[in-house]
Chain A
Amino acid sequence: MKVLVPVKRVIDYNVKARVKPDQTGVDLANVKMSMNPFDEIGVEEAVRLKEKGAVEEIVVVSIGPAQAQETIRTALAMGADRGILIQTDADPEPLAVAKLLKAVIGEEAPGFVVMGKQAIDGDNNAVGQMLAALLDWPQATFASKIELSGKSAKVTREVDGGLQTLDVDLPAVITADLRLNEPRYASLPNIMKAKKKPIDVKAPADYGVDIAPRLKVLKVTEPAKRSAGIKVETASDLVMKLKNEAGVL
């Protein structure tokens, strides 16, 4: 079985995003970029399934600028087999991304898709669900455990209040939550080997998908800053302040 793993190049999760003074967006010039942490978990899961023999081929796809090749190389170094880059300098909305992925799936016919539950830049948490809808496939979002068994997958999901387990027929879209696994670091030999693995470079137009934005960003602003607080010396001071000054007790 073949698995498709979409990955996104995003601001590194340790970097605090800074809003541009002209309010047109977040300043990404000279900022460290990495693979979206949830996508790393998706890649790791695919590689583990391959190591167990449940998956034969892992195809990684990324939609983004030329530098997104590095993100694909990272996934190849972790154990993916080949990559597809749909190159665009636009930052397509989740619906356009889902349509592009649907087109890729039309060509690649994977047995299932595993991907991150959300990207840490747009924080949309939408592409996986949208892709499942466009394909009329079942979805298992926020997965913390995946067991493939022939024609279906038993997936444990993190939901408000606890866990839910679903059994979904394949093909399906599964989105990874934090606790699905701990992604591996790519070893140096694997990074070298990854350089020889193929990456196909395409354009959105190759798939006939219109990626024009439907949401217009009017402005991007900084959230209100909290006013500086005070340090208290003792626990009883703290209780007095909370009671008399803040009035929250």
Chain B
Amino acid sequence: MAVLVIADHHDGLVRDTTNKTVTAAQAFGGDIDILVAGKGVDAAAKAAAGIAGVRKVLTADSDALGQGLAEAFEATIVPLAAGYDAVLIPSTSQGKNIAPRIAAKLDVSLISDIIEVVDAKTFVRPIYAGNALETVQTSEPKVIATVRPTVFKAAAEGGSAAIEKADAAGAPAHTRFVSEEMVKSDRPELGAAKIVVSGGRAMGSAEEFQRVIEPLADLLGAAVGASRAAVDAGYAPNDYQVGQTGKVVAPSLYIAVGISGAIQHLAGMKDSKVIVAINKDADAPIFQVADYGLVADYKTAIPELTEALKAAGK
């Protein structure tokens, strides 16, 4: 039994989504290798080699991999997959982009977004926006799966795996990278943050969203999230969206401000440890999942909350 984990990395750093996927891989009970594919991956490979319990780290380095092109990942990973019983990929936008392509090339059914490894052939995954959990058993010779990182603990550091080079696919014939526009932020990453402060449609404008939500997030050292309604209305950028079709988060503390709590939003945050809802509508569905609810207009509640936090030494 051997499992290949595809690393999620950026700028020489391995994201903790990778460590969490390694934890999922440990439940298979076999050797674990990590593939670090990208452009200029030496630093990230070193970091990956430090994850405890990893047998070896493979590196694949090319421009096309650095640009995240799905065809290049397919051409790199499919030949490697021959040596593994399972390939696990963190369920990021890139993971979702490449995993089905690899599975289809291998003629294997994909298992998306697993939240539990029951055994090496049996997995639990959410369906219907997280309103049901499906336990599936695969009869495929190989497991190709994406792993929902938020539910697994991060594998510890302290390993010293060997690093080996693997063949890296070059530029695909029919896809060209044009440009990239990344949102710059000094705040913690939404998917990995311990505290998330999210704003909804009640903010009414992008200016109000920034005025209310961002200082509160900064005070708490939190990441900023948003409901789909707030994103669709242009109050917050797309990649702030928490929900079935955005990011799935599970921080220690999730503060929902002016968010009603539609099914689609709950799917992205209901596994948070503590949920706080601030909403002036006492009947908003968000209060059904909130540990602490404050029925109040955010316009008065947020300044008061800010004062109380400062008084409490935050």
Mark the stretch among A47-55, A66-74, A75-83, A133-141 that contacts chain B.
A133-141
8 Å CB interface, A107-155 against B: 117-118, 120-134, 137-142, 144, 154
CB-CB under 8 A for A169 and B175, given A142-B93, A163-B180: yes
Contact present for A139 and B101 (CB under 8 Å): yes
Contact present for B101 and A123 (CB under 8 Å): no
The number of chain B residues touching the other chain, given as a range, is: 35 or more
A227 nearest CB neighbor, chain B only: B291
Interface residue A32 (Cβ < 8 Å from any Cβ of B): no
Contact present for A13 and B264 (CB under 8 Å): yes
Q: Is the interface of A mostly helix, strand, loop or mixed?
A: mixed
Contact present for A217 and B136 (CB under 8 Å): yes
CB of A37, distance to nearest CB on chain B (Å): 9
Contact present for A118 and B104 (CB under 8 Å): no
B179 nearest CB neighbor, chain A only: A165
Contacts of A122 in B (CB 8 A): 112, 127
Contact present for B134 and A220 (CB under 8 Å): yes
CB-CB under 8 A for A123 and B183, given A223-B126, A223-B133: no
Contacts of B93 in A (CB 8 A): 142, 158-160
Interface residue B182 (Cβ < 8 Å from any Cβ of A): yes
Contact present for A17 and B274 (CB under 8 Å): no
Q: Is the interface of B mostly helix, strand, loop or mixed?
A: mixed
Contacts of B245 in A (CB 8 A): 38, 117-118, 177-178
Contact present for A166 and B177 (CB under 8 Å): yes
Contact present for A248 and B127 (CB under 8 Å): no
8 Å CB interface, B46-102 against A: 68-71, 74, 92-94, 96-102
Contact present for A242 and B276 (CB under 8 Å): yes
Contacts of B305 in A (CB 8 A): 235, 238-239
Contact present for A214 and B138 (CB under 8 Å): yes
Contact of A26 among B103, B113, B128, B295 (CB under 8 A): B128
Interface residue A29 (Cβ < 8 Å from any Cβ of B): no
8 Å CB interface, A195-239 against B: 214-223, 226, 228-236, 238-239
Contact present for A162 and B181 (CB under 8 Å): yes
CB of B206, distance to nearest CB on chain A (Å): 15
CB-CB under 8 A for A234 and B174, given A11-B128, A138-B71, A223-B131: no
B140 nearest CB neighbor, chain A only: A214
Contact present for A246 and B304 (CB under 8 Å): no
CB-CB under 8 A for A94 and B131, given A118-B245, A137-B174, A239-B308: no
8 Å CB interface, B168-219 against A: 172-183, 191, 195
Contacts of A218 in B (CB 8 A): 122, 135-137
Contacts of B128 in A (CB 8 A): 11, 17, 26, 120-121, 123
